[in-house]
A and B are shown apart, each in its own frame.
Chain A
Amino acid sequence: VVADAGPADDPLPPGGRVVELEIPARPDYLDVVRMVVATAASLEPSFADDRIADLRLAVSEACTNAIEAHADLGEPDDTDRIVIRCDLADDRIEVEVVDRGGGFDPGDLDALPAVEDPSRLDFERGMGIGLMRTLTDETEFSSSEEGTSVRLVVYHTRIAEGS
């Protein structure tokens, strides 16, 4: 019997492992995205469960924004697609969420008022981007008229505690 090294014993190929998913820009696909991202992340045994949960929520937030951006353009049809690309590197996982919605300027988003401010409860929306920034180690938005790309990076070991 020849022992066959399992995937866990194989060295990572250069550039890591990439998992890519393309979904219609519809809310009922969010569940699929969360499942795929969490499963991909769990392939790396050193990735702690709470970090996987953080990434899962951050990616879900990014996809929610993407779906809403498409919806803002009018009635979504099957050509409205969102691409989620997970790059499983040695020390981190990078997820890019690319949509072809209308785009936005992240700088336009006002900071939420302090919690003790009663007007805090006036903000039912706009928490998603703050959450993405808090949950991940790096968050990068690039937006144009063609759409938005969000890059989320989570290291296997937390390098910065969200404030």
Chain B
Amino acid sequence: VDLSLQVVERDGWTVVLVGGDIDLTTAPTLRERLLRLLAEGHRHLMVDLAGVGFCDSTGLGVLVGTARRARNEGGDVELSDLTPGLQRIFQLTRLDQAFAIHADLDAVPVRGG
């Protein structure tokens, strides 16, 4: 199982482009990267999940934990470009109501502009 992570600055957001499967194997890598970005002062993270074909509850837990940390520090974690499969998981767990979810990166509003 491979996970790819790419970080770019865009419109006031730190965008994390995630690719691959998120499960018990790869979730620690994602968690470390997101927490490191927060620790470096990137408090507004936009996690783009367009390239994620599978995400289990371990992956959801990473996103929830990172969002909580970011919000405690005056930032936030928002999500973009969920595949239909992921949208369904977010609906079933009702996490679609815990995150701002954008259709894609072009639909993300410019921050602090």
Contact = CB atoms under 8 A, between A and B. Distances in A.
16 contacts: A27-B24, A28-B25, A57-B56, A60-B54, A61-B56, A64-B56, A67-B24, A116-B97, A120-B98, A121-B98, A123-B64, A125-B57, A125-B61, A128-B57, A131-B57, A134-B93
A162 interface: yes
Interface of A: 27-28, 30-31, 34, 50, 53, 56-57, 60-61, 64, 67-68, 115-116, 120-125, 127-128, 130-131, 134-135, 162
B85 interface: yes
A57 B93 contact: no
- Give the top 5 A-B pairs by smallest Cβ distance, nearest first: A124-B61, A127-B57, A27-B24, A128-B57, A121-B68
Interface string B86-101: 0011001111011000
A113 to B, nearest CB: 11
A27 B56 CA distance: 13
A115 B97 contact: yes
Given A31-B1, A115-B97, A127-B61, 7 more contacts: A28-B25, A121-B68, A124-B61, A124-B65, A127-B57, A127-B60, A128-B57
B93 A130 contact: yes
A162 B92 CA distance: 8
A59 to B, nearest CB: 10
Given A34-B54, A57-B56, A128-B57, A64 B24 contact: yes
Looking at A56, A123, A127, the one whose CB has the most chain B CB atoms below 10 A away is: A127
A70 B95 CA distance: 29
Contacts of A116: 97
B38 interface: no
A132 to B, nearest CB: 9
Interface in B54-81: 54, 56-58, 60-62, 64-65, 67-68, 71
A154 to B, nearest CB: 14
Contacts of B23: 27, 30-31, 60, 64
